Amino acid sequence: MTDRDDVERWVGRYEAAWRSPDPRTLAEVFTVGATYLHSPYAEPIVGLEAIAAMWDAERDGPDEVFTLETGIVAVDGDTAVVRAVVRYGQPVHQEYTDLWVIALDGDGRCHAFEEWPFWPGQPWSARVTP
């Protein structure tokens, strides 16, 4: 059973791994066969090696300037929902508000991660407007 303290520890390890130059830190965050979805409609990225490759491709390196603010929305069983606001750069050139759906295993590592990202200017409706 996952609790709020487990989730807070996991979020701290996630941020530390993102800031780390060593891709092996991902093993402290994700299980070997973890799935990572960039959105609920994305194809999952599966496994530590694939997640590490994706992270390396998406970040500007471990020295990338960003801030991360998080708050736990809910915890139920092994699943948690975290609201995250990420701002990249100084001055800020990119910002996301994101919901993370995180499923943790018994040792506090994530076996399923799903993002619901939203950023400024992104339409909130599927309705096409002229």
Q: What is the Rg, in whole angstroms, of the alpha carbon atoms belonging to the chain?
A: 15
Give the pLDDT score at 58.
Answer: 87
Give CA torsion, residues 55, 60, 64, 66, to 10 deg: -70
Give the pLDDT score at 16.
Answer: 94
pLDDT-flagged residues of the chain (< 70): 128-130
- Read off the pLDDT of residues 39-77 as tens digits, 9 standing for 90 and up: 999 999 999 999 999 988 988 887 889 999 999 999 999
Give the pLDDT score at 118.
Answer: 92
Give the pLDDT score at 129.
Answer: 61
Give the pLDDT score at 95.
Answer: 94
CATH top-level class of 4-118: alpha beta
| Rounded Cα gap, residues 23 and 71, in angstroms | 25
112's tokens: 């399923």
